[in-house]
Amino acid sequence: MSKKIYSDLGIEPIINAIGSVTLLGGSTQPPEVIDAMQSAQDMYVPMDELEEKAGNYLAELFGAEACYITSGAGSALTLTTAAFMSGDNDDLIVQLPDTTGIKDEILIQSRQRYHYERCLTYAGAKLVEFGSKDQVTKDDLERSIGEKTVAVHYVANETINDPSALTLEDTLEVAKKNNLPVMVDAAGQIYPLSNLSKYSNMGADAVSYAAKYFGAPHSTGFVVGTKDIIRKVALQSFISYEMRRVRGVGRPQKIDRQEIIGAVTAAKIWMNMNHEDRLAKAEKTCSVIASHIKGIEGVNVEIQENTIGHDPHGVRITLTKDGASLIDVQEALKNGNPRIWMRCDQDLDGNYDGNLARISPFGLYPGEDEIVGSRLAEELKKL
């Protein structure tokens, strides 16, 4: 590993204790992924064939009906939304994002308003919120369905148990009764492995995942869904734009053949690796970090038991003394030497109260656990 490639540009690398985040470049590709991408570059193939065969391969790997590789989960959401609105009608495909005369309302529950909903409106859709901030019911969903409703959106996050939100089961029940498709953002729900087909097998029509979470190129993601919707998603893509000369909204969301091969290879590794080993390593990394912090006055530290999702375990830090804020620690680490990024957790309104932080083992290279632990201890003692 050479720092020179970055230092030549005047950039000092970061120690990643925050997890797989877009702001730091996603995840690290295993050597097999890099090798496969290198080989992919030695010849040309028709991109439509590559997309089709790679999608079929992933669908079989996941135990799902069909799959389409996209430029991240963000594009997966955009292409799915466009596919729901225009179907296989070429006139409508070229009309988007102008939705005049097209059913364009996507229903989203109040408790799931979030950062990535912009990926839906990008295609021209309007979001219609249902439910109150406190509680969302089947009746709320039922009542919000109107003339222009085209689909229902659901954000899957199995690491958060929100008893006030409408469940996917209930969402599907009401949507199906009203002949509406359901789209799911399951970007980070890549473990347990059954999650990669679970939501579509439950009846969701199109489920978006981010391949950044399992060592694929950061720029890749995919939609898992029915054969029918996946065919329509493909019609929105940059490939369809060039091959069929039908100008869909997906043209700027291009990926290259190396990235598609990288995503396929990373998925193959992810589905076949020893996850007990992976989780044990994550837990070990966390306990090394926690051992540096234990016993510091006014600081609680625990290793999270969580093994589901893309970012297992984690060191959870809370403060018991008044007037102190973990945001100061976050800032000190960010501006220190070496530079270290960590996460202070937000409340539901997106505010940081500074009393809760989480250190992720996901992006730490060997030996960095000791560095993060000792730097954290140093700063926590100053509070």
Ligand X SMILES: *Cc1c(COP(=O)(O)O)cnc(C)c1O
Q: Distance of CA 227 to CAs 21, 200, 361, 364, Å?
A: 31, 11, 37, 39
Q: Which two tokens stand for residue 196?
A: 């990669």
Q: Distance of CA 149 to CAs 36, 127, 168, 181, Å?
A: 43, 10, 18, 10
- Is residue 196 a contact point for ligand X (CB under 6 A)? no
**What length does the chain have?**
383
Q: Which stretch binds ligand X (CB under 6 A): 68-76, 226-234, 325-333, 375-383?
A: 68-76
Which candidate, 162, 182, 164, 165, places its Cα nearest to that of 173?
182
Least distance in Å: CB of 69 to ligand X?
11
The beta-strand segments (E) located in the chain are 14-16, 66-70, 105-109, 126-130, 149-155, 182-185, 206-210, 221-225, 299-303, 315-319, 339-341, 343-346, 352-359
The smaller minimum CB distance to ligand X, of residues 74 and 373, is found at 74
Peptide bond into 97 cis (omega under 30): yes
Which of 33, 54, 64, 72 touches ligand X (CB under 6 A)? 72
The smaller minimum CB distance to ligand X, of residues 74 and 314, is found at 74
DSSP string spanning 195-256?
HHHHHHHHT-SEEEEEGGGGTS-TT-EEEEE-HHHHHHHHHTBHHHHHHT----TBTT----
Which of 55, 181, 188, 215 touches ligand X (CB under 6 A)? 188
Which of 27, 29, 67, 74 touches ligand X (CB under 6 A)? 74
Rg (CA), the chain: 22
Chain position whose Cβ is nearest to ligand X: 72
The smaller minimum CB distance to ligand X, of residues 19 and 124, is found at 19
Strands 126-130 and 105-109: parallel
Least distance in Å: CB of 175 to ligand X?
20
The smaller minimum CB distance to ligand X, of residues 69 and 282, is found at 69
Distance, CA of 86 to CA of 94 (rounded, Å): 9
User: Angle of helix 227-235 relative to helix 47-62, nearest 10 degrees?
Assistant: 150
The smaller minimum CB distance to ligand X, of residues 73 and 317, is found at 73
Write each residue from 82 to 121 as x if it is in contact with ligand X (CB under 6 A), else as -, in one continuous string: ----------------------------------x-----
Q: Which stretch binds ligand X (CB under 6 A): 69-77, 234-242, 329-337, 371-379?
A: 69-77
Distance, CA of 210 to CA of 130 (rounded, Å): 26
Which candidate, 94, 381, 370, places its Cα nearest to that of 251?
94
Within 206-225, which residues bind ligand X (CB under 6 A)? Answer: 210, 212, 221
Distance, CA of 227 to CA of 219 (rounded, Å): 24
Least distance in Å: CB of 32 to ligand X?
21
Write each residue from 314 to 353 as x if it is in contact with ligand X (CB under 6 A), else as -, in one continuous string: ----------------------------------------
The smaller minimum CB distance to ligand X, of residues 77 and 359, is found at 77
Q: Which two tokens stand for residue 86?
A: 């225009």
The smaller minimum CB distance to ligand X, of residues 212 and 232, is found at 212
- Is residue 73 a contact point for ligand X (CB under 6 A)? yes
Write each residue from 18 to 37 as x if it is in contact with ligand X (CB under 6 A), else as -, in one continuous string: ----x---------------
Q: Which stretch binds ligand X (CB under 6 A): 4-12, 66-74, 86-94, 339-347?
A: 66-74
Within 148-187, which residues bind ligand X (CB under 6 A)? Answer: 185, 187
Size of the site for ligand X (CB under 6 A): 11
- Is the CB of residue 62 less than 8 Å from the CB of residue 197? yes
- Is residue 239 a contact point for ligand X (CB under 6 A)? no
- Is the CB of residue 237 less than 8 Å from the CB of residue 51? yes
The smaller minimum CB distance to ligand X, of residues 72 and 373, is found at 72
The smaller minimum CB distance to ligand X, of residues 64 and 216, is found at 216
Residues forming the site for ligand X (CB under 6 A): 22, 72-74, 116, 185, 187-188, 210, 212, 221
